[in-house]
Amino acid sequence: MDYGLTEDQKMVQDMARSFAEKEIAPYVEEDEENHYYRREILTKMGELGLLGWSIPEEYGGNGMGWMEAVTALYEIAKVHTSWRLSISGNVWGPAMTINQWGTEEQKQRYIPGLVSGKFVGSFAMTEANTGSDVSSMKTYAEDKGDHWLLNGTKMWISGGHTCDVGLVYAVTEKGLGSKGISCFIVDYNNTPGITRIPILKKVGMWPAPTSELVFENAEIPKENLLGPRNKGFQICMWMLNNTRMGCATGAAALSAACLEGAVQYANERSQFGKPIGKHQMIQQQIAEMKLEDEAAKYLVYHAAWLKENKLPNQQETSMAKLFSSMAAVHAANTAMKIYGSYGYSTEYPCGRWLRDAKQFETLEGTSNIHMQIIANIELGYQPNR
């Protein structure tokens, strides 16, 4: 199958690459050092249409789909992988999920702001004791007749303390596990009872905001229930199969960044009278990185093509996410070896690559969970949706 880019997709690629080089690259090291999130970059993405993928044009979408989205995100994440979270946090999380499950009023009220960059988005599932087992969440939304009363705590929420609008998953009927969870649209700027606490002690992804969210009798309007009551688990799994493409693409892009950096350094650095790239051990490492990089990119585009054509893709999305995560971690680790002592210096990006690569093994489903999804579908224990 040929995943060669069309002329229009090449234009998208060039636009995204130019944007990343001009708007993101000059601030990478400064923002890393200061753990600083530049909201204006998200706004500029929205102005260029880089947040409108797979969203109908009537709600502000750009009229393009998954293949263009992956192509653009790849170029952005290759420059600084922290920014792939903003695209997932706005588009493949809230905007697409509201478009799929929301009322017409919800679509018109929230989607245009998310795809234009006027709103910063998020989605909250994880809790202190709830990660892979989403059905074990404790956050509870009580039906009070004319509103919902939300209580509980969410952890490790990307964009949690910087967002304007987000999806929150909560129990609405206790004792039913996954069959008693619902999804809510939360207006963080106009809802009392929400405390947002930045999580600053992280290994990597420093410019990407991560938060703890505490809900204490937060009143959520009845009309902010997204989809049917107690169908939140189904909505969550549907959403994750989209946001995982962001992880897969970001990891593949990071693998590519490590490979490009290692190749450049191997040609510049000399030992024993010749560039280190002339030494067989370095060549073996470069070859391994290249093999994994190409395989990761192929899996990402294959999953995106299936989504584009509305074909079953859960297994392929998990394959792309799992393998790209493995490729990114291996590439980052190998790049640090090739750079030698300089790889351990903060003057070079190897440390950032390695710190950022490790998060892909956890976010949007751990590597163990994706192994399980792939195997269960292959064994026929669950369908490939």
Q: What is the mean pLDDT of the chain?
A: 96
Q: What kind of architecture, by CATH, is found in domain 234-378?
A: Up-down Bundle (1.20)
H or E element in which residue 196 lies: strand 194-198
CATH 1.20.140.10 segments of the chain:
234-378
CATH 1.10.540.10 domain span(s) along the chain: 7-119
β-bridge pairing 194-198 and 140-143: unpaired
CATH 2.40.110.10 domain extents, the chain: 122-229
**Looking at the domain that runs over 122-229, which CATH code has it been given?**
2.40.110.10
Q: What is the CATH class of 7-119? A: mainly alpha
pLDDT attached to residue 238 = 96
Residues in the chain: 385
Q: What is the pLDDT of residue 5?
A: 85
Residue at token pair 């224990």: 381
The set of catalytic residues is 364
Q: What is the pLDDT of residue 1?
A: 59
H/E run at residue 318: helix 314-339
| Residue ranges in the chain whose pLDDT is less than 50 | none
Tokens coding 10: 């090449």
